[in-house]
Amino acid sequence: MNVLAKDLKKQTELVERMASRTDRFRQCFHLMPVTGWLNDPNGLCMFQGVFHAFFQYSPFDAQGGVKLWGHCTSENMVDWKQEGAALYPDSPFDCHGVYSGNVLVEDGRMYLYYTGNVKLDGDYDYIHTGRESNTVLTISEDGKTFGPKKVLMQNCDYPEFVTCHVRDPRVWKEGDRYYMIQGARTKEDQGTALLFVSSDKENWTYSGQITTREKFGCMWECPEYLKIGRRKVLSASVQGLTGGEWKNRNVYQSGYFFVEGDFPGDCQLSEYYLWDYGFDFYAPQSFRTEDGRMIQIGWMGMPDCPQHINKTLADNWQHCFTFPREITQRDGMLLQNPVRELREKKEPVCMVTGNLHKEGIRTFEVDTEHIMASAFRAVLAGELVLEYRDGFFRMYFLHTEKEAVSGGRDMRCTKLPELTDVKILADVSSVEVFLNGGEAVFSTRYYPDTYCVEIQAPGADIQFWNICHIKL
Ligand code: FRU
């Protein structure tokens, strides 16, 4: 660790020690920063039987300053232990941020790949000029200390058709070769994913791009190539989708394409499906558990969105992760559901038919099953409405001022031929809604003064659970 990293470590520990950790909107079973700002999940993995989640972290600035990698560990993906920061922007090649990346676990070691972001001083547009995107590797033997950083690729190693926007390496192994995918913006302002190949994890050769036939957004961030059941999937967080169907959606999107044909050879991408239809979801990352499940965690936040505010800013922190989701496949369709480890934390409170009214519980799950004729309406905290009407499922707030429970959020919806079941997972300041066994999901932050849930679903079975979280 160099002297700059030592100082940054001391300062991080100081601000973390000074943080109150008791303010009213702190979540119970969602990973969030001790203080300051959190964005993308990074380096999610299971290492020596323990879950590790790194994250984009600005401990000194809740509005998001220069990025470090924060670090948490967990035995069960529900209770997270803060491990302090793992990687600091302490080198000339990452001095404007240790940006996103992933971890490859092999031979009892963690290989952490990330983008070292550098913005040069001067009159640059930072798209075509003025930005260095360095692909960096550091290795950990114990998941606690991180070895010397090594720059593997610089701007000159990327194909000539891309701008300076190349980032978020994701590395995996297939056969005896290693693959790396990175998000990029081309000189024609087209979003794309670049593929690199290596036989030793350090020397990489560009081997082609994976993109859509027609332009689809101007920048793809945090791409991932996943195999889920019999489906091959390319996930990407896309910037620059405007107009038409994107008009009443988030400023940026996170979704996936099904990959047809031979990947990485001759492959084609299907249409794009959103991972989440709510207000707060971006830059998800996935990993496989030792028992073979595919788990995905997203950032429950949205960049560049001045319409919303997060009321936790008043308490000097901002954003959290989604609750980890198991991704499975049914009839060729992807499903997302809260990880099964949550069962250990659920206490049954009541089971009713048709109508539910509960007050004063801040952390709960409520499952509505066997919904009849798609009839469903729920209101949380008197403000957040979840309802099915005219072939659409909607999530909306009754008051959309920034001071309201919504923090300025308004309405999101998706078309759904029918509604059979709804699972609502509510933590102190977040709500995640899973429809039809996880076919569609809506996530949002909310900021209630008082907690209450009302459900009307004539004839349906409604089960309410308290989620009792044990703090480590
Ligand atoms: C996505 C992203 C990544 C980048 C990181 C910086 O939210 O913009 O592309 O690596 O955040 O914090």
| Confidence tier at 21 by pLDDT (50, 70, 90) | confident
Q: How far is the CA of 110 from the centre of ligand 1 (A)?
A: 21
Beta bridge partners of 70: 55, 85
**Alpha helices per DSSP H over 43-193:** none
Q: What is the mean pLDDT of residues 328-344?
A: 96
Contact between 165 and 185 (Cβ < 8 Å)? yes
Residue 67 CA to residue 83 CA, distance in Å, equals 16
Q: What is the mean pLDDT of residues 6-13?
A: 97
Q: What is the mean pLDDT of residues 15-27?
A: 93
Residue 444 CA to residue 39 CA, distance in Å, equals 15
Q: Whose CA is nearest to atom 9 of ligand 1?
A: 221
Q: How far is the CA of 388 from the centre of ligand 1 (A)?
A: 34
Find where tokens 């499906």 sit. Answer: 273
Q: Per residue in 224-259, pLDDT tens? A: 999 999 999 999 999 999 999 999 999 999 999 999
Burial of 406-425, coded b for 16+ CB within 10 Å and e otherwise, reads bbbbeebbbebeebbbbbbb
Residue 171 CA to residue 180 CA, distance in Å, equals 4
Q: How far is the CA of 115 from the centre of ligand 1 (A)?
A: 9
Contact between 202 and 137 (Cβ < 8 Å)? yes
Q: What are the catalytic residues?
A: 40
* Nearest atom, ligand 1, residue 303 CA: 7
222 CB-near residues (< 8 Å, 6+ apart): 40, 100, 168, 170, 183, 235, 236, 237, 283, 284, 285
* Nearest atom, ligand 1, residue 168 CA: 10
Q: What would the two tokens of residue 130 be?
A: 């003025």
Residue 450 CA to residue 435 CA, distance in Å, equals 25
Check pLDDT > 70 for residue 469.
Answer: no
For residue 12, the 8-state DSSP code is H
Beta bridge partners of 318: 37
Q: How far is the CA of 168 from the centre of ligand 1 (A)?
A: 7
Of 54, 99, 102, best ligand 1 pocket probe by most atoms within 8 Å of the beta carbon: 99
| Confidence tier at 340 by pLDDT (50, 70, 90) | very high
Residue 308 CA to residue 302 CA, distance in Å, equals 9
Q: Whose CA is nearest to atom 6 of ligand 1?
A: 99
Q: How far is the CA of 419 from the centre of ligand 1 (A)?
A: 35
Residue 62 CA to residue 311 CA, distance in Å, equals 11
Q: Which candidate, 318, 300, 329, 445, places its Cα nearest to that of 383?
A: 445
* Nearest atom, ligand 1, residue 222 CA: 9
* Nearest atom, ligand 1, residue 115 CA: 10
Number of H helices, E strands in the chain: 1, 32
Of 37, 38, 40, 113, best ligand 1 pocket probe by most atoms within 8 Å of the beta carbon: 40
Q: Per residue in 262-288, pLDDT tens? A: 887 789 999 999 999 999 999 999 999
Q: Which candidate, 312, 317, 335, places its Cα nearest to that of 325?
A: 335
Long-range contacts of 390-396 (CB under 8 A, 24+ apart): 391/415, 391/416, 391/417, 392/416, 393/277, 393/419, 393/435, 393/440, 393/442, 395/277, 395/278, 395/279, 395/433, 395/442, 395/444
* Nearest atom, ligand 1, residue 183 CA: 9
Q: How far is the CA of 97 from the centre of ligand 1 (A)?
A: 10
Of 168, 250, 282, best ligand 1 pocket probe by most atoms within 8 Å of the beta carbon: 168
Q: How far is the CA of 39 from the centre of ligand 1 (A)?
A: 8
Q: What would the two tokens of residue 464 be?
A: 């309410």
Q: How far is the CA of 56 from the centre of ligand 1 (A)?
A: 8
* 3-state SS class at 264: coil
Contact between 419 and 253 (Cβ < 8 Å)? no
Residue 217 CA to residue 249 CA, distance in Å, equals 14
Counting residues of the chain whose pLDDT is more than 70, the rounded percentage is 99
Q: Which candidate, 432, 412, 414, 413, places its Cα nearest to that of 423?
A: 432
Ligand 1: residues with CB < 6 A are: 39-40, 56, 67, 99-100, 115, 167-168, 221-222, 282-283, 303
Q: What is the mean pLDDT of residues 290-303?
A: 97
Counting residues of the chain whose pLDDT is more than 90, the rounded percentage is 96
Which amino acid, 9?
K
Q: What is the mean pLDDT of residues 432-450?
A: 98
Residue 229 CA to residue 329 CA, distance in Å, equals 6
* Nearest atom, ligand 1, residue 101 CA: 10
Contact between 223 and 239 (Cβ < 8 Å)? no
Cα 380-385-386 angle, rounded to 5 deg: 105
* Nearest atom, ligand 1, residue 100 CA: 10
Measure Cα distances from 104 to 117, 170, 335, 460 in Å. Answer: 21, 8, 25, 45
* pLDDT for 265: 77
Residue count (the chain): 472
Check pLDDT > 60 for residue 472.
Answer: no
Q: What is the mean pLDDT of residues 323-339?
A: 97
Q: Per residue in 97-151, pLDDT tens? A: 999 999 999 999 999 999 999 999 999 999 999 999 999 999 999 999 999 999 9
Contact between 36 and 310 (Cβ < 8 Å)? no
Residue 300 CA to residue 284 CA, distance in Å, equals 9
Q: How far is the CA of 237 from the centre of ligand 1 (A)?
A: 10
| Confidence tier at 470 by pLDDT (50, 70, 90) | low
Indicate whether this model's pTM tops 0.85: yes
Measure Cα distances from 392 to 277, 358, 364, 366, 434 in Å. Answer: 12, 26, 25, 21, 14
Find where tokens 């000159």 sit. Answer: 156
Of 55, 56, 163, 302, best ligand 1 pocket probe by most atoms within 8 Å of the beta carbon: 56
Q: What is the mean pLDDT of residues 342-368?
A: 97
* pLDDT mean across residues, the chain: 96
Q: Whose CA is nearest to atom 8 of ligand 1?
A: 221
Q: Which candidate, 441, 268, 156, places its Cα nearest to that of 433?
A: 441
Of 39, 55, 127, 304, best ligand 1 pocket probe by most atoms within 8 Å of the beta carbon: 39
Complete DSSP assignment for 369-399: ES-STT--EEEETTTEEEEEETTEEEEEES-
